[in-house]
Amino acid sequence: MWSAEEEITEFLEPLLARLSEVLGRRGSVESQLSALGAISSAAAAARTGFRPYAAAVLPLLRSYMNITEVSVDSLCPSSRLLKNFLV
């Protein structure tokens, strides 16, 4: 039986590819926020399984990181995990 971390890791590659497309299109604010939230949730669920994808995904996220540290910490618990990959 697989752990939850292993289960989500199996789907990270196609999931992150599609979410990266959404971020790259610069569509509606709602779609951008949804994609950011989904990436953050996937990273939180996959834990160390996210590491192989971090180098590809984080440059896209950096353009959205023009908020204060206080704002990041208030967004949601998984955003703190994602912020740790940026440091």
Q: Which of 13-27, 51-65, 67-81 has the lowest mean pLDDT?
A: 67-81
CA 69 to CA 29: how far, in whole Å? Answer: 21
The residue that leads in pLDDT, 50 or 23, is 50
User: Which of 34, 14, 20 lies closest to 63, judged by CA?
Assistant: 20
pTM (predicted TM-score): 0.69
